[in-house]
Amino acid sequence: MNVPYLDWIRKLEQWWAEGATLPPGPFPPSPPSPPKPDAPRALFFAPHPDDESITGALAVRLLHEAGLRIVNIAVTLGSRKEQRPRRLAELRHACAFLGFELELPAPEGFENVTPEARRTDPAHWQALTQRIADLIQQHRPVVVFCPHAHDAHPTHIGTHDLVMDALRLASPNWDCRVIETEFWAPMDEPNLLVEIPPGLLARMMAATACHAGEVQRNPYHLRLPAWAMDNVRRGAERVGGFGSTTPGFLFGQLFRIRRAHRNEWLPAPPPQKLLLASVSAATLLA
């Protein structure tokens, strides 16, 4: 039987098999020219090592196109203590490959960053919140990245809550754009679909592969292209409106941008709903 698309599916299987033969990281760093030491900063609050590589498309574009210093705050190093030295070493390789700086809020990252800990252990939560607020005041970022409020994984949700609580505690007297990411679950109200050109997608895959111990048990770096394609499927209509035409690019990532100003949330719609590769990410900061 001649089934339509069967040959195409078999080619996808071959593509997967070829990808599985590629070595995991680490890879030699290949960042662009480093930003100026006094360049504005973005803080990327990553719940786990690898989130900076998987959901960092816009952060990388801001580094390349707006000259921002991207500081990855490794909120946790995972729940298994015996794995943390290995995960930290892999994280250092991934950040170096992407051109991100790396900072830990505690020597081994935080423990118990979950909604349950926020509810049941206020003293612990207050200590975490104060530390994150101190980092925000120290770096005075123009952009803060964190997961959205319903990103399914307890540590992702906890990281969102932690950053929101810290922003309130820090009481910044400067404008800060908060950009929410998604991975484990779609967000309710994205307002920006960012194109990921092939070169950037390959960089994200390679950075994710630097987390070699993780991708050996689950080669999720090879699934990033399919996920990025599905983001375009959803994002074209979630951001552009139902019935909108799919944009002319294959790979993308969804975000929500808001603006924190003196303990208030202000509207901060991006100047364009679709950030094409031909448009500088610096326009988001205007």
| pLDDT at 246 exceeding the cut of 90 | no
Helices (H) and strands (E) in the chain, counts: 10, 9
3-state percent breakdown (helix, strand, coil) of the chain, nearest 5: 45, 15, 35
Cα 149 from Cα 145, distance rounded (Å): 12
For CA atoms 145, 150, 151, 155, give the dihedral sign: positive
| pLDDT at 262 exceeding the cut of 90 | no
How far the first Cα of the chain sits from its last, in Å, is 57
Residue 137 confidence (pLDDT):
93
- List the single range of 34-43, 52-61, 137-146 with lowest mean pLDDT: 34-43
Cα 48 from Cα 77, distance rounded (Å): 6
With contact defined as beta carbons under 8 Å apart, do 173 and 262 qualify? yes
| pLDDT at 215 exceeding the cut of 90 | yes
Cα 20 from Cα 129, distance rounded (Å): 41
Cα 160 from Cα 164, distance rounded (Å): 6
**Residue 84's pLDDT band (boundaries 50, 70, 90)?**
very high
Radius of gyration of the chain (CA): 19
| pLDDT at 57 exceeding the cut of 80 | yes
- What mean pLDDT comes out for the span 57-67? 96
pTM across the whole model: 0.94
SS3 sequence, 76-141? ECCCCHHHHHHHHHHHHHHHHHHCCEEECCCECECCCCCHHHHHHCHHHHHHHHHHHHHHHHHHCC
Q: Which pair of structure tokens corresponds to residue 263?
A: 């303990």
> Quick one: 38-285 is in which CATH superfamily?
LmbE-like (3.40.50.10320)
**Residue 2's pLDDT band (boundaries 50, 70, 90)?**
confident
**Residue 172's pLDDT band (boundaries 50, 70, 90)?**
low
Give the start-to-end residue ranges of the domains of the chain. Answer: 38-285
**Residue 23's pLDDT band (boundaries 50, 70, 90)?**
confident
Computed over every residue of the chain, the mean pLDDT equals: 93
Question: How confident is the model over 104-140, as pLDDT tens digits?
Answer: 999 999 999 999 999 999 999 999 999 999 999 999 9
Residue 31 confidence (pLDDT):
64
Phi, psi for residue 154 in degrees, rounded to 5: -55, -40
Q: Could you give the percent of the chain with pLDDT greater than 90?
A: 80
**Residue 175's pLDDT band (boundaries 50, 70, 90)?**
confident
Residue 34 confidence (pLDDT):
81
